[in-house]
């Protein structure tokens, strides 16, 4: 019998351009570039409103550059090197986490794993608190040590599907890809086949199993209607490193968004908690009674008649965060029927109305992604150009 919990110790003490220009140079879909980025970057550069050029680049190039001049490529590894023989991690409970349930605390730290899966790990003794087996609802105290032993991934039950993928970079630990709009990331309600995970299983094969058998390699997600950059973990080492970086807000993410209306300010910050909508349970809301902290920074890149084109940097990663934050300002993302409704019905110009009506995706694109490589610890960065369908819609709306 394990010792009783009562014996635990107590808490320990772009080139400048005028506003309204901002037109993208000609570029073909499928283009992309991988550029170095210095640690600590990620704030908006000081620019006048309306500045910000997006360089022409070829998607799929995926060039890999070291952060500093003279540094080399990622160290070459033979297949199998760099793998975790056992996926284990130790966490020290912070003062801020005091009183939180163990299962909820872990669910927030490991978003790729479901809370029920983590509860099973706790009940099986794969999670110990100060060396003791406990229940999922055990409240935490500052200074306690949580030891986790992630079980080996069970054989995948996913059927590989030969869905085309645009891979920008691939090595022993990670894979960076450009997800198209319309592709669901992993199996779930209403999408049991035809997902990004099915394509990855067919394309790559071996992926980290920490996320579970239905989410191999997945450390973050993009909504179905959102396009752009994603990083996938091929090893458990990479999965744990990337998950920690997302949790500690070390990953830099920059999105491009076309929204309804003209913004009052050229740039700003939305610092409003997000949670499940109390009435419409499939939606998220800033009015949720138990929302989680969420921060999004935005900057106006271009103003179009009746619309704004923005650069958005989410500092947190809540579900639908950018969409909900922009809608809360009264500027829903174009194409977002869930949070913006059929706003196109109010457009008088028939050419613009038809273009908006037929636009069948979110005008939201994950443009830049930067993080520390799990193996080399070197800061790396990727870029993906704005998709052709968004550029075509913007050209129509400028007219």
Please report the sign of the dihedral spanned by the C-alpha atoms of residue 323, residue 329, residue 335, residue 338.
Answer: positive
Distance between CA atoms of 74 and 65, rounded to whole angstroms? 9
Distance between CA atoms of 44 and 76, rounded to whole angstroms? 35
Burial class (CB in 10 A: 0-12, 13-18, 19+), 246: buried
Residue 359's nearest CA partner among 249, 242, 218, 260 is 260
Residues 266 and 299 sit within 8 Å (Cβ to Cβ)? yes
C-alpha to C-alpha distances, 276 to 273, 291, 309, 371, nearest whole angstrom: 11, 7, 27, 29
Distance of alpha carbon 149 from its chain centroid, rounded? Answer: 25
> Token pair 């997000």 is at which residue?
274
Q: Which residues contact 157 (CB under 8 A, 6 or more apart)?
A: 213, 214
- Per-residue burial over 316-344, b = 16 or more CB atoms within 10 Å of its CB, e = otherwise: eebbbbbbbbbbbbebbbbbbebbbeeeb
Q: Look at strands 379-383 and 33-36 and give their pairing.
A: antiparallel
Active site residue 223: yes
Residue 257's nearest CA partner among 115, 373, 362 is 362
Q: State residue 394 phi and psi, 5-degree precision.
A: -65, -40
Distance between CA atoms of 247 and 236, rounded to whole angstroms? 16
Out of 173, 223, 236, 336, which one is annotated catalytic?
223
Please report the sign of the dihedral spanned by the C-alpha atoms of residue 87, residue 91, residue 96, residue 102.
Answer: positive
Helical spans, DSSP H, in 175-319: 196-203, 236-247
* 245: helix, strand or coil: helix
Residues serving a catalytic function are 223
């Amino acid at each position: 019998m394990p010792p009783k919990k009562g014996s635990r110790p107590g808490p320990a003490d772009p080139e400048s351009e005028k506003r309204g220009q901002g037109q993208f140079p000609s570029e073909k879909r499928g283009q992309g570039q991988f550029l170095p980025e210095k640690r600590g970057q990620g704030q908006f550069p000081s620019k006048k409103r309306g500045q910000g050029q997006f360089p022409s680049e070829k998607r799929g190039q995926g060039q890999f550059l070291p952060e500093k001049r003279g540094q080399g490529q990622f160290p070459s590894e033979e297949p199998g090197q760099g793998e975790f023989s056992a996926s284990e991690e130790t966490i020290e409970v912070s003062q801020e986490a005091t009183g939180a349930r163990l299962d909820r605390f872990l669910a927030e730290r490991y978003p790729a794993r479901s809370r029920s899966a983590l509860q099973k790990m706790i009940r099986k003794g794969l999670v110990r608190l100060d060396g003791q087996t406990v229940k999922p609802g055990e409240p935490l105290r500052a200074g306690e040590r949580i030891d986790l032993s992630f079980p080996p991934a069970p054989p995948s039950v996913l059927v590989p599907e030969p869905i085309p993928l645009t891979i920008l970079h691939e090595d022993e630990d990670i894979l960076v890809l450009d997800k198209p709009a319309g592709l669901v990331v992993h199996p779930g309600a209403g999408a049991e086949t035809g997902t990004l995970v099915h394509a990855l299983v067919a394309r790559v094969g071996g992926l980290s199993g920490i996320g579970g058998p239905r989410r191999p390699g997945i450390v973050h997600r993009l909504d179905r209607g959102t396009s752009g950059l994603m990083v996938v973990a091929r090893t458990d080492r990479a999965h744990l490193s990337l998950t920690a970086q997302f949790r500690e807000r070390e990953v830099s993410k920059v999105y491009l968004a076309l929204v309804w209306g003209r913004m009052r300010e050229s740039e700003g910050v939305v610092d409003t908690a997000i949670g499940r909508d109390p009435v419409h349970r499939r939606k998220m809301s800033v009015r949720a009674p138990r929302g989680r902290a969420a921060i999004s920074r935005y900057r106006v890149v271009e103003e179009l008649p009746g619309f704004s084109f923005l650069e958005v940097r989410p500092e947190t990663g809540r579900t639908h965060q950018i969409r909900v934050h922009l809608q809360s300002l009264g500027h829903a993302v174009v194409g977002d029927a869930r949070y913006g409704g059929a706003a196109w019905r109010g457009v008088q110009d028939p050419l613009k109305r038809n273009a908006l009506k037929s636009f069948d995706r979110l005008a939201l694109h994950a443009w830049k992604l930067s993080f520390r490589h799990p193996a080399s610890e070197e800061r790396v960065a990727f870029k993906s150009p704005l998709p052709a369908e968004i550029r075509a819609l913007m050209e129509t709306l400028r007219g």
